[in-house]
Structure 1
Amino acid sequence: MTSSNHKANLLVELFVEELPPKALKKLGESFANVLADSLKAQGLAAADVVVTPFASPRRLAVHVSNVAGKAADQAVQQKLMPVAVGLDANGQATPALLKKLAALGAGPEAVPGLKRAPDGKAEALFFDSIKPGATLAEGLQKALDESIAKLPIPKVMTYQLEQGDGANFQPGWTSVNFVRPAHGLVALHGDQEVAVSALGLKAGRSTRGHRFEARVEKIILLTADTYAEQLQHEGAVIASFAERRAEIERQLAAAAAKAGSNLKPIEDDALLDEVTALVERPNVLTGRFEEAFLAVPQECLILTMKANQKYFPLLDTSGKLTNQFLIVSNIKPDDASAVIGGNERVVRPRLADAKFFFDQDRKKTLESRVDGLAKVVYHGKLGTQGDRAERVRAIGHEIVKQLSLATLPFTVEAQDHFAVLDSKVQQAARLAKTDLLTDMVGEFPELQGIMGGYYARHEGLRDGVAIAIEDHYKPRFAGDALPRNHTGTVVALADKLETLVGLFGIGQLPTGDKDPFALRRHALGVIRILVENNLPLELPALIAAAIPVFGELISNPAEHLLVFFSDRLAVSLREQGYSAQEVDAVLALQPERLGDVPRRLAAVRAFAALPEAASLAAANKRVGNILKKAETQVEAKVDEGLLKEAAERALYDALQAAAPKARASFEEGDYTASLQALAVLKAPVDAFFDGVMVNADDAALKANRLGLLATLHKAMNQVADISRLAA
């Protein structure tokens, strides 16, 4: 038994059949953290205890340092009822009070010890008691139940408990619901077993190691602290997910270096996590396949090796695939040739399938597949992929038109350039979705766009079109590269706008965490393309141009879509390190050209660093509030003849000098200079508010002073709403 004041390290392990590999990392973290948090909440563990999770294909476990054998008792004060209800006129306990005390395990003898204290308008009775701290057995049982109940299980299975002797014997058939059948439970506090149970199992101190390579059938754990060492030494298992992952990384690097000085394994964190969840004793081996397969696009070979076989393809220093790959085996035979040979035999048909798909697909042109898009449903309310391709083509044409207008006046050469660009955009948009009908993309949907680019190059399509077809889905994810040429940029913009306008137009908006059509990602893609390429395009005009191509299929989504874009942009900018104040100041003006936003933010940041900034921001906020409260719309217009006070004349003169400079810099796109030109206004603005009554009795004077403030407000808020910088 564990003594009440004894502290020791705790180890809990649930031994199960092979867990789902893609979920193992989260399962291990959840099991450990929820169990430890529950122990902390019950006073059995301090807030600063060290929690070490373990997770392998056949076990979830946690080691928690300095866990008490019993939690400290707690003084508890409980409100009972108002004094007027609990005591009669003679100060004797009422039946209601006695009943309440009985429910708390106390009798009439507790009445004299009750405390009286104000509670709102009346006095109430309070009962002081000592709540015994939980024993470790009680607390761990609660923590274990909670950690199992809260596991993020992807899919629950139902199984019957085993019949047998000893601790696991269960009379009759009992069903259990869990992620996988559980076969063992360990709970050790130091070197002592803790009497808990779960999933029909009673806790003990024995576990099992590797299915094939353990030195003993049962591992009898000596203490909580020898768990990892015994599993590795006696059971051939690296129990820690993190340590196993690091060991695989180390072996991958070593095997790659041995295979060739210029080789490296492909980087893929998700694959590394999945493989770590599949093996208990990693052993990295090197396999090969015939060089003839390298004629197939490397994306196809890499995907089939990663997705189907969990191999790590080896790349050279230029990122080109070689005919070698790394296998993470779960066994360490003295002679690994049979394991390597078996994996090489298994991968060959996979690569042969990819080669067959590639060869077959190239027998038909992309153009010959266009009509087939009319038979592929895109969305029940938005038609087929053929309809979608036509809409992307039409939107692409409008984008080119807006680009050409943004560069007016332009030369004959420029006109020819935009005509050629439009022609390439039309062709690329028409063919961009045709690879959806190929065998390769049918097998590997992740390759859409990429395969279209390969097939377009094979057909010898003109320069830029093949790249545009390949790139029109970009950026596919956060941090992905943008399209590499003008044609691809336009088609990618058109494709994302078609998706956003269409789905918003039929009411398919993202809600909470649900975004089945990845509309947030599409919006961020549009933002990145416009901002990072500094395109001379205005977002409202782009959306307006996309809406008519849908005809009567949709309602006008422009208002909702612009708010959605603004929200996405704000989130993105804050993630890039801009403060909420900086972002609010710029986006408050709803800039239509997103390419300007980074320069506006830089200008706001530079302005905020000026000594005059805080005062001007506060004044700007004050001006805005005054103008909002005005009875009528105030025009930014001043009658010099009505400037009576020296302070208002001084502010007017300062504005006459500073505003043109700020305006000129703004029109040249030098937003930093535009804002900094306003710094000279600090003193006259302060003097104005100190010495001038805006709400004068004379209506003409009042209107003129409001007009002066409106002129000031207009001059100060061209780049951003600097009132948002006020504390």
Structure 2
Amino acid sequence: MTDFLLELRCEEIPARMQAGARADLEKLFRKEMGAAGVTLGQITVWSTPRRLALIANTLPDVTEAVSEETKGPATSAPDQALEGFLRKTGLTKDQLQVRDLKGKDTYFAVIEKPGRAVKDVLAEAVPAIVRAFPWPKSQRWGKASISTESLRWVRPLSGIVAILGEDLVECEIGGIVSGCATKGHRFHAPGDITIGGAHDYARKLSVCHVIVDHVERQDLIRDEARNAAAAAGLTLVEDEGLVIENAGLTEWPVPLLGRFDEAFLDVPPEVIQLTARVNQKYFVCEDGAKETGGGKLANAFVCTANIDAVDGGEGIVAGNRKVLAARLSDARFFWEQDKKTALSDHAKKLARITFHEKLGTVADKVERVAKLAEWLASEGIVPNCDPALARQAAELCKADLVTEMVGEFPELQGLMGGYYARAEGLPDAVADAIRDHYKPVGQGDDVPTAPVTVAVSLADKLDTLVGFFGIGEKPTGSKDPFALRRAMLGTIRIIRANGIRSPLNVVVRGAMGIYLDHFNSNHPIVVQGFGVTTTQADTFATEFVRFSVERLIVQMRDDGVRHDLITAAFEQALDSDLVRLLARVHALQAFVGSEDGTNLLAGYKRAANILRKEDWKAETGHPLTGDEDPLENVDDPDMQEVYAARSALGYEPEPAEKNLIDALDAAEPQSTAAVADEDFAGAMSALASLRAPIDGFFDQVTVNDTDANKRYSRLALLDRFRAAVHNVADFSRIEG
């Protein structure tokens, strides 16, 4: 058993491509080795800006013998088919096997391939891996690039190291011949380094100022950047994405702290951080710990050099400071210029931007969102919300899209609008709503709770959803070009977090009405593309609510709630009050997880199966005999109870049958009242009382009695039991 080292060296590999390249290298290597019958042990893949490296431990010296089978034509096929198969396999007819395949005698070619030296397999595999490498972007270079058959790589490939144990694996691709020598750090050790094998590869490179393990570089950057900030009495603003990116840009990372002019701190801190991060790949710092009153952005940055400078990095920091100052000067200019224009004037320019060809401009959307936000507040759907503030915030929520700052940094939309609103002296509630109305954007994003923000955020998402649903642009399969699933998930999270009790179908109809009023009054041509009319409102709202429940199922799955329980609760009442629906679901989950719930579910399914097999449809009345009952005039209360039961059924019920009737008489009103009070746990408790009676009924009563009257009555009783359960949830939707 020996270890194998493969290094593919080239010019700088973009940091964003390195993680994918590592995964692709391992995948391709496993594929080539697997096809050759090589059993693989541990594989390690590393990357730096200038190389991809793979180490495969404990490879065998010789591959296992393999047997390859190829199916040929049927024995009854024309001779030409057999001749072609023989040419393809290189065998003769008497070397073929005949097997029965689906009732037909069929030729099979079985070729036994003996084991091969793994070194020879690797010599063929390395060029195949290089040629098959799926870079997102690649290029050809040199004179050979005239041909489309020339090698493609992310950057010009300059060297291949391929060593099995201590032996060179000889191979060649695109004029590049494998060897045992690689290059060290571009400045510290630019000469050749002879590698003895996988065992000394990382050590020799480290001596030559190359940390080949990307994880080790990430740890170093993370720790040393924190230390550099702490040494200056500052706290590093953590940014794991920036750690990974800097590790992908350096082979010998050296984090260095620098300072910029304090005057730039007048610019919003998010702008400074984004400028430093996106344009320069710098970390930023805060002035001390938040718990001690700090936490404000400091005029400091941490850059990551790729060299141990003789001056301790002073020259590198000075150069980076100048570049950052130029970037921050641009940002400050944008900030000052944008503030000279009121947000309301910025908003007028939104009429130049098309939101969607069938839904009008962004200005049209803003007008609809403003009306909807005001309506949500005035109707009390969003409690404690001032309608005037909701409308004002909605009218300005997209204004920052036309500012210089957001034009430079689209990631700051909303956030900059909040800053501009505050600088303009608008109410804090309005500024906060503008800032946060896009939230929640992702799964981990904060959910708005301030009333004005909730109204604007809901209105914005509902306008998008209703609009695209109305023009038929609904998500299909894996396609969701307008991010409607995300918009619906955001809507659901806002409703849940704020306990909004208005049924979703009512809210949707309100949004749809605003759409129709807007289009009919302003855009009579565009309205032709909006495929919903007032007469279709109920169908549209139901479809919309079903889509919301589908998204709710996805969201609740992460919270450990079974999807079938959500469906069961929803189908029972088509409940569009999502808060009430979730309360029902949680009570149902607790119930079906109990012994009573499990047994009642089994009894329900048994009853439902019987009714389905009998094609049960409830009819009016019972086939009573009409004979006078001798117990009719008895005074004994116990006997009168027997008479009452007999009168209702036309016969005297069996004890287990009577127990189920009595249990239903008690449970039905209890569960109905509990559901009306939204006491779903109480409703489940009432259902639990049916567990023993339904079990006893099935154990002791013959449903399909030869007496037609008994058979009918018992089926009707099962139907009544099923209806009582359905009053709480559709148990037919529950799995198990």
1:319-398 map, 5 Å:
319-335=295-311, 336-398=313-375
- Which residue of the partner structure matches residue 536 of structure 2? none
- Which residue of the partner structure matches residue 613 of structure 1? 597
Partners of 1:95 and 1:629 lie apart in 2 by 57
- Say whether the 8 Å CA contact 2:671–2:728 is kept in structure 1: no
Comparing 304-313 with 502-511, greater Cα deviation is found at 502-511
Partners of 1:320 and 1:140 lie apart in 2 by 56
The structure 2 residue matched to 1:25, chosen from 14, 19, 39, is 19
TM-score, normalised by the number of residues in structure 2: 0.85
- Which residue of the partner structure matches residue 640 of structure 2? none
Q: Deviations over 1:605-642 (max 9, x none)?
A: 32123212222112223334455566575489999643
Q: Deviations over 1:417-456 (max 9, x none)?
A: 55xx211111111111111122211111111111111111
Q: Say if 1:719 and 1:285 are closer, same or farther in 2 by CA, change over 3 A.
A: farther
RMSD: 3.2
How far apart are residue 101 of structure 1 and its match? 5.7
Comparing 645-654 with 131-140, greater Cα deviation is found at 131-140
Secondary structure of the 2:427 match is coil
- Which residue of the partner structure matches residue 50 of structure 1? 42
- Say whether the 8 Å CA contact 1:39–1:45 is kept in structure 2: yes
- Which residue of the partner structure matches residue 89 of structure 1? none
- Which residue of the partner structure matches residue 629 of structure 2? none
How far apart are residue 239 of structure 1 and its match? 1.2
Partners of 1:533 and 1:74 lie apart in 2 by 64
- Say whether the 8 Å CA contact 1:607–1:675 is kept in structure 2: yes
Partners of 1:699 and 1:398 lie apart in 2 by 59
- Which residue of the partner structure matches residue 15 of structure 1? 9
1:28-107 map, 5 Å:
28-46=22-40, 49-76=41-68, 104-107=89-92
How far apart are residue 353 of structure 1 and its match? 1.7
The structure 1 residue matched to 2:249, chosen from 259, 278, 281, is 278
- Say whether the 8 Å CA contact 1:637–1:711 is kept in structure 2: no
How far apart are residue 259 of structure 1 and its match? 2.0
Partners of 1:446 and 1:171 lie apart in 2 by 41
Q: Say if 1:104 and 1:435 are closer, same or farther in 2 by CA, change over 3 A.
A: closer
Secondary structure of the 2:512 match is helix
How far apart are residue 151 of structure 1 and its match? 4.2
Secondary structure of the 2:210 match is coil
How far apart are residue 68 of structure 1 and its match? 2.5
Instruction: Say yes or no: does 1:132 pair with 2:97.
Output: no
How far apart are residue 560 of structure 1 and its match? 5.0
Q: Say if 1:145 and 1:607 are closer, same or farther in 2 by CA, change over 3 A.
A: farther
- Which residue of the partner structure matches residue 548 of structure 1? 513
1:473-622 map, 5 Å:
473-551=438-516, 552=527, 553-556=529-532, 558=541, 561-589=544-572, 590-622=574-606
Q: Deviations over 1:560-579 (max 9, x none)?
A: 54443233222222222334
- Which residue of the partner structure matches residue 248 of structure 1? 221
The structure 2 residue matched to 1:667, chosen from 676, 696, 705, is 676
TM-score, normalised by the number of residues in structure 1: 0.86
Secondary structure of the 1:177 match is coil
Q: Which runs of 5+ in 1 are unaligned?
A: 1-6, 87-93, 163-169, 408-416
Q: Which runs of 5+ in 2 are unaligned?
A: 517-526, 533-539, 623-643
How far apart are residue 601 of structure 1 and its match? 3.5
Q: Say if 1:77 and 1:633 are closer, same or farther in 2 by CA, change over 3 A.
A: same
- Say whether the 8 Å CA contact 1:617–1:724 is kept in structure 2: no
Partners of 2:432 and 2:502 lie apart in 1 by 22
How far apart are residue 595 of structure 1 and its match? 1.9
Secondary structure of the 2:258 match is strand
Q: Say if 1:384 and 1:122 are closer, same or farther in 2 by CA, change over 3 A.
A: closer
Give the letter for the 2:216 counterpart: E
- Which residue of the partner structure matches residue 224 of structure 1? 198
Q: Say if 1:102 and 1:492 are closer, same or farther in 2 by CA, change over 3 A.
A: closer
Q: Deviations over 1:152-195 (max 9, x none)?
A: 52323232258xxxxxxx99997432221111111111111112
- Say whether the 8 Å CA contact 1:80–1:126 is kept in structure 2: yes
Secondary structure of the 1:238 match is coil
- Which residue of the partner structure matches residue 636 of structure 2? none
Instruction: Say yes or no: does 1:300 pair with 2:271.
Output: yes
Q: Deviations over 1:482-533 (max 9, x none)?
A: 1140110111011011112212322333345443322222111011111222
Q: Say if 1:99 and 1:684 are closer, same or farther in 2 by CA, change over 3 A.
A: same
Comparing 147-156 with 647-656, greater Cα deviation is found at 147-156
- Which residue of the partner structure matches residue 519 of structure 2? none
Give the letter for the 2:17 counterpart: A
Give the letter for the 1:340 counterpart: V
- Say whether the 8 Å CA contact 1:36–1:64 is kept in structure 2: no
Secondary structure of the 2:160 match is strand
Partners of 1:655 and 1:566 lie apart in 2 by 31
Q: Say if 1:134 and 1:528 are closer, same or farther in 2 by CA, change over 3 A.
A: farther
- Say whether the 8 Å CA contact 2:437–2:460 is kept in structure 1: yes
- Which residue of the partner structure matches residue 258 of structure 2? 287
Comparing 426-435 with 219-228, greater Cα deviation is found at 219-228
Partners of 1:376 and 1:29 lie apart in 2 by 41
Partners of 1:549 and 1:604 lie apart in 2 by 37
- Say whether the 8 Å CA contact 2:272–2:328 is kept in structure 1: yes
Secondary structure of the 1:281 match is coil
- Which residue of the partner structure matches residue 212 of structure 2? 239
Q: Deviations over 1:34-56 (max 9, x none)?
A: 3134323432233xx11111111
Give the letter for the 2:487 counterpart: H
Q: Deviations over 1:86-121 (max 9, x none)?
A: 9xxxxxxx998788567544457x56xx76654443
- Which residue of the partner structure matches residue 4 of structure 1? none
Secondary structure of the 1:477 match is coil
- Say whether the 8 Å CA contact 2:9–2:52 is kept in structure 1: yes
Give the letter for the 1:229 counterpart: R
Partners of 2:146 and 2:135 lie apart in 1 by 28
- Say whether the 8 Å CA contact 1:637–1:708 is kept in structure 2: no
Partners of 1:289 and 1:633 lie apart in 2 by 81
Q: Deviations over 1:666-685 (max 9, x none)?
A: 33333233213312211211
